[in-house]
Every structure is written in structure tokens, then in C-alpha cells.
Amino acid sequence: MANLSTNIGALQLKNPVMTASGTFGYGLEFEDVVDLTAIGGIIVKGTTFQPRQGNDYPRMAETPSGMLNCVGLQNKGVQYFCEEIYPKIRNIDTEMIVNVSGSSPEDYARCAACINELEDIHAIELNISCPNVHDGGMAFGVTVEGASSVVRAVRQAYDKTLIVKLSPNVTDIVSIAKAVEAEGADSVSLINTLMGTSIDIEKRKRMLSIGTGGLSGPCVKPVALRMVYQVSRAVNIPVIGLGGISSATDAIEFIMAGASAIEIGTANFLDPAISVKVAQGINEWLDAHNVASVKDIIGVAE
Amino acid sequence: MALKKHIVDLQVVSREELGDRFVLLKCTDANAPLPPMMPGQFAQLRVDGSKETFLRRPISINFVDLKSNQVWFLIQLVGAGSRALGRLQAGDLLNALLPLGNGFSMPVSADTKVLLVGGGVGTAPLLYMGAQMKLMGMKPTFLLGARTADMLLQLEEFQKVGDVYVTTEDGSAGEKGFVTQHSILFKEHFDRISVCGPSPMMKAVAKYARANSIPCEVSLENMMACGLGACLCCVEKTTKGNVCVCTEGPVFDINELTWE
Ligand SMILES: Cc1cc2nc3c(=O)[nH]c(=O)nc-3n(C[C@H](O)[C@H](O)[C@H](O)COP(=O)(O)OP(=O)(O)OC[C@H]3O[C@@H](n4cnc5c(N)ncnc54)[C@H](O)[C@@H]3O)c2cc1C
Ligand SMILES: Cc1cc2nc3c(=O)[nH]c(=O)nc-3n(C[C@H](O)[C@H](O)[C@H](O)COP(=O)(O)O)c2cc1C
Ligand code: FES
């Protein structure tokens, strides 16, 4: 058995496999079919200061190897999270991480401040990259100034591990990563979804209710992998890699590209138990190659 | 209480074509007894070997036979996913996540007169519902609608379970017209109605139920990705705001919906 533990700032994960926000609920939805404690970390649904209804149906469209979604951050708000959800998930024996979104730097900071009070939540992931809301989300993640302003505000309100989730819908992701590092982020995770669309030719109409949506799944993997490789070589904070991971081989590619941990998103829909299988598969690969610790292969790809 | 969900590799025991647009798959778990499932619940079936599709497909539990350890799925061939499922042969494996969602509410008293209304492939979950009612000593009434006689599915199975009334749009079987025009609705009183079918049909039945103050449940077929309440793709507008059809439904009381 290889050593699978890995670090994201002050956070120690028992293994490098986490589940991505918006694809694994609060974890509880999956507990019948997967051992939650065998997952390295669970990043729960996007949470905002105020409750949000999200976008209208239809919110998804399928592609041959992925999907588009325009959920639009539907959630019951941070107060509901703290009062109703947190008590149910705080004792799950894995790192429970909250994905935070907002419509202004102050809004993000208010939400983060509430979560800062929760003893058993040791990290947040800031979503400055949601392509499906007009007010905020990706608007912040696509410019150096926007990204910096959110991280600066949140850093003052939040003193535990701060992960910033980057948008791939930019010309130069490295400059954004460096900017959030300079503002005090403890880690960056990438990528969020790629903006796309699809058309129903019979109805002569775009399929999603708001016209566009975020693309995820195996089809985005090469783009995500390239970005993880570039960013991890440009920053000194740990990088979390995601985008299209659906096997241990995919995960090891991201780790070799420079990721200290990985997240699995859309693949949970095909196999709700995939995260545990990927963690086991990484272990088997390490053993088969006589590698003692997963840390020994982070960033080894030339 | 929610039933425990499972991921199982089912084995196809038999494949029957019902006309040229429907396939009935009877499946078993070769290794263990099937988990308990309720009428109106569904499974997320993995579609293997289909280049065009990516996600699982939600399909209703059509029937469960504890004696032979079988679960049936009735599949309408509409697009690439359902066609790929419909190509499965006896002996093939079918990976299923089940049971999902909330079923129809079962009548508590044997005197309750229940009408089960189905249209098209929406008749699928009603067979299991009716069979469970029969086991509980009740006799359900089915009102089944289709465009033409050859699109009426599993009639003999329904007849084993309860009284069956039929409408077709072209009059090739039963009464001509839509289910809401069938004479049984004018002759008999029902205490509750459960409906599954195309949405115009469900809306028409809901309107009838409301006008006659009959409690009524409908089963929705929104597009789904996860089936577990995680992705929030399958939402329906309700009196409580947007809710997931996969976990809060697929069966809803019509008074919860914001249908006009
Ligand atoms: C709870 C529930 C129970 C269902 N029970 C049955 C059943 O017993 N038998 C049956 O034949 N059909 C059933 N359906 C409908 C069935 O899921 C769709 O017909 C099927 O997914 C179509 O896939 P496709 O690839 O063949 O078609 P596509 O070419 O992908 O699409 C054709 C149409 O099917 C619908 N559809 C496509 N993808 C999905 C999806 N992921 N989820 C839901 N709808 C989708 C859309 O309306 C689309 O316009 C049920 C749906 C739900 C939500
Ligand atoms: C249905 C759906 C909902 C999502 N919701 C969120 C969200 O609330 N916050 C967030 O940061 N990312 C969200 N994402 C993005 C994923 O967390 C992930 O970044 C992306 O899907 C790429 O990874 P994947 O290819 O493994 O899915 C969502 C993705 C999907 C498919
Ligand atoms: S299908 Fe994912 S929440 Fe219903």
C-alpha cells in the first residue's frame, strides 16, 4: 500500500481524490452507493450568501463525451447551509470543503465569513469561474483585477485554507493564477467548465434555457491537463487538477502534470462510486511501479 | 423512509419487441435478490457502446417479480440512447442504479377507488403499481391511451391485474379520442388518480381531476444527468420553488406543480 496522503496548504488529505462541486451534492446523496470516508475530500454544492433559484429548465444538454449545464448556482444560501446541512455532514470522516460563489467581492466575503465559523470545515473553494450566472461568477475569474479583488476581500474574512477555482475561458490562465497567489490564495483548482452551446435543429433553437452552458466531461480533459501543467510550473502554491477525469490513468496524468490533488466531476454521474475506484487505481499503479508515495510523482512529467 | 439505492449489474433474461418502437427487457440479478423497489420509482441505466450518448438514461420500473427475481423495463425507441438499450440481448449485462425517486402513494384502504391513467410508454410504471395494489387485495382500474392500437402496450398484463379501458386517437381500439373523453369517467366515480404519460395528456387529466376535486398524482419525465439530486439539472417549478424531479419526484401531487 503506497502512501496516498497529500497536502493542500495546511490541509492534509488522506488521498488525492476529491469530488467536484455541483456534481456530488453534499455527499449524502451518494452514501448508499459509495463509502464517503474513502474519498480524499468532498467539495459540496456552490453556496452563496443569499438563496438562489438558479436558471430555468432545460439546464443540460448532452454531447458525445460530456455535457453542457447551466444550473446557475441554485442553492438555499449560506445560512441554510450552516443551520441545516453542516450538522449533517460535519462528522463525515473526510475533508468537507465548501464551494463559495457571489455577486460582488463583499458578497463572497460575507459568505466566506459565515463558513469561517464552522469548526469542521477546514477549507473553502472560491468559484470565480461559473459561466452560468450574469452577476459575478465568471465575470470575476476572467480578469486579473476581478480575480484579485475577490480573493483580497475573502482573504480578510477567511483564515483557513483558501482554494481559488479558475476559469478556462481566458486567454492567459497563468496570469490569473499568479494574481490570486499574490493575494494570498493557498491553492488554485482548475478547471471549471468551458463555455459552449448546442442547437436543436428541429426547433431551430439553442437547447439550454439561457442559450449557453458549461462543458464538462472527458471531452475537456486535454485542455484542462494542459492548463494544469502550465499553471503548476508558474505558481508556488499547490494546484488541484480537474476536468474530464474518469479513471486512475486520467488522475495520474493530472498529478504528473503538477496537480497535488484532483477532483472528479461529471464522471460521478456515470459511476457514482468512481472516486473510490480512482483512489484505489492510483494506489495500484504506485505499488506496481514501486513508488512509495503519491507525492513522488507530482509534476514529474517533462 | 427512502429505500436504499444500489448499483447492480443486471443480466438481461429476455428481450421482446412490442411492435417496432418498443422493447421490453426482463432482467435479473444473477448473484443476489433484487433490492426492494416501489411503483413509480425508476432506474438510471448505463448505456454501453453508444457513440452518440454519454449519460445514463432514466427508465421506470415496469414490473418486479420477486419469485423469478426479475425487474422489467419497457423502452420506447426514440433516440440513440434508448435504441442502444433496445439492442441488448438475452445474456447481456445492464448496469443499473436503482431504485430512485419517490413512487406513487399507495392507497391505504381497500375501498379507495383508484384510477391509473397512462399514455404511450407512460403506461410502464402503472403495471407495477396495479400489481402491487392487487397483492394488497385491491382492484385497480386502468385507463390507457395510445395513438393507434399497435401502440397499446402490455394489455394482457394489465388485464391480469385490473379492469382495463382503452382509447386510441384513430379509434383502432377501444373508444376513439383522448383518455379524458372516455365514457368511464362519466359513469364511475374515483377517489384518486395516478397518471403517467406525455405532458399534454397529464395536464388534461390534471384539469379533469381538479374540476372534479379528485386527488391526483402525475409522474414527470424531465431530463436527468445524475438521478441522485446532485446536479440540479432536472428541476421543475413548484409551489416550493425549483425542485429536483429525480429526488422530490418523479411523482408529484398536481397541487404542488405550477401548471396553469
Ligand atoms: C423518471 C423517468 C422515467 C422514465 N421512464 C421511461 C420508461 O419507462 N420508458 C421509456 O421508454 N422512457 C422513459 N423515460 C424517458 C426516457 O428517459 C427518454 O426517452 C430517454 O432518455 C431518451 O433517450 P434517447 O437517447 O433515446 O433520446 P435522445 O435522442 O437523447 O432524446 C430524445 C428525447 O428524450 C428525452 N431525453 C433525452 N435524454 C434524457 C435524459 N437523460 N433524461 C430524461 N429524458 C431525456 C428528451 O425529451 C429528448 O428530447 C423516463 C424518463 C424519466 C425522467
Ligand atoms: C451539473 C454541474 C454543476 C456544477 N456546479 C458547480 C458549482 O456549483 N461550482 C463550481 O465551482 N463548479 C461547478 N461545476 C463544475 C465542476 O465542479 C467541474 O469544475 C467541471 O465540471 C469540470 O470537471 P469534470 O469534467 O470532471 O466534470 C459544475 C459542473 C456540472 C457538470
Ligand atoms: S438528475 Fe441530477 S439532480 Fe436530478
Is the domain of B175 the same as that of B210?
A: yes
HSE-CB for B104 with a 13 A CA cutoff: 31
Q: What is the DSSP letter of A252?
A: H
The C-alpha of B195 sits at a distance from chain A's nearest C-alpha, in angstroms, of 22
| Chain B environment of A220 (Cβ under 8 Å) | none
Q: Do A53 and B242 touch (CB under 8 A)?
A: yes
Q: What is the DSSP string of A254-274?
A: HHHHTEEEEEE-THHHH-TTH
Instruction: Say whether A114 is catalytic.
Output: no
> What cell does A65 get?
463525451
Q: In what order do the strands lie in the sheet with B70-76?
A: B57-60, B42-45, B93-100, B6-18, B22-28, B70-76, B63-65
Q: Does B229 touch chain A (CB under 8 A)?
A: yes
User: Which residues of chain A have a CB within 8 Å of the CB of B245?
Assistant: none
Nearest residue in chain A measured CA to CA from B245:
A57
C-alpha cell belonging to residue B170: 384513430
State the pTM of this model: 0.96
Please indicate, yes or no, whether residues B206 and B252 belong to a single structural domain of this protein: no
* CB A48 less than 6 A from any atom of ligand 2: no
Residue B1 lies in a domain: no
pLDDT tens string A73-83: 999 999 999 99
Task: Please indicate, yes or no, whether residues B140 and B227 belong to a single structural domain of this protein.
Answer: no
> What pLDDT does residue A136 have?
60
Of B71, B77, B121, B74, which Cα lies nearest the Cα of B97?
B71
Whether B72 is covered by a domain: the verdict is: yes
DSSP H or E segment with residue B159: helix B155-161
Single residue among B46, B68, B100 that ends a domain in this structure: B100
Distance of CA B22 to CAs A253, B17, B54, B150, Å?
43, 6, 22, 10
Residue B216 has what pLDDT? 97
Q: What would the pLDDT profile of B224-239 be if each residue is shown by its tens digit? A: 999 999 999 999 999 9
What single letter denotes the amino acid at residue B258?
T
DSSP tag of A82: I
Give alpha helix (H) positions in B45-123: 80-86
B5 touches chain A (CB under 8 A): yes
Question: pLDDT at position B108, please?
Answer: 82
Shortest-distance Cα residue to atom 46 of ligand 1: B223
C-alpha Rg value of chain A to the nearest Å: 18
Residues in chain B, pLDDT under 50 = none
**In terms of domains, do B49 and B127 share one?**
no
Considering CB atoms only, which of A25, A32, A65 is closest to B54? A65
Domain count for chain B: 3
Do B241 and B213 lie in one domain? The reply is no
CB neighbour list of residue A69: distance below 8 Å, 6 or more residues apart:
A22, A59, A60, A132, A193, A213, A214, A216, B225, B231, B233
pLDDT of residue B1: 63
Domain of residue B75: give its range: 6-100
Is B57 touching A (CB cutoff 8 A)?
no
Task: Say what the pLDDT of residue A183 is.
Answer: 98
In chain B, helix, strand, coil percent, each to 5?
A: 25, 35, 45
| pLDDT, tens digit, 9 for 90 and up, residues B43-84 | 999 999 899 999 999 999 999 999 999 999 999 999 999 999
Q: Which residues neighbour A123 within 8 Å (Cβ) at sequence distance 6 or greater?
A: A8, A9, A11, A95, A97, A160, A161, A162, A163, A186
C-alpha grid cell for residue B227? Answer: 438521478
**Domain CATH code at residue B144:** 3.40.50.80
Are both B125 and B89 inside the same structural domain?
no
Element (H, E) at B216: strand B216-219
DSSP A26-66: TSGGGTTTS-GGGSSEEEEEEE-SS-B--PPSP-EEEETTE
Kindly list the averaged pLDDT for each block of 10 residues, start to end, along chain A of length 302: 96 98 98 98 96 95 96 96 98 98 94 98 94 72 94 97 97 97 98 97 96 97 98 98 98 98 98 98 98 98 95
Pair (B122, B210) in one structural domain: yes
Predicted confidence at residue B109, as pLDDT, reads 86
Using a CB–CB cutoff of 8 Å, tell me whether A16 touches chain B: no
Q: Output the CATH code of domain A6-297.
A: 3.20.20.70
Helix (H) or strand (E) holding B30: none
pLDDT of residue B54: 96
- Our CA angle for A172, A177, A181, nearest 5°, is 155
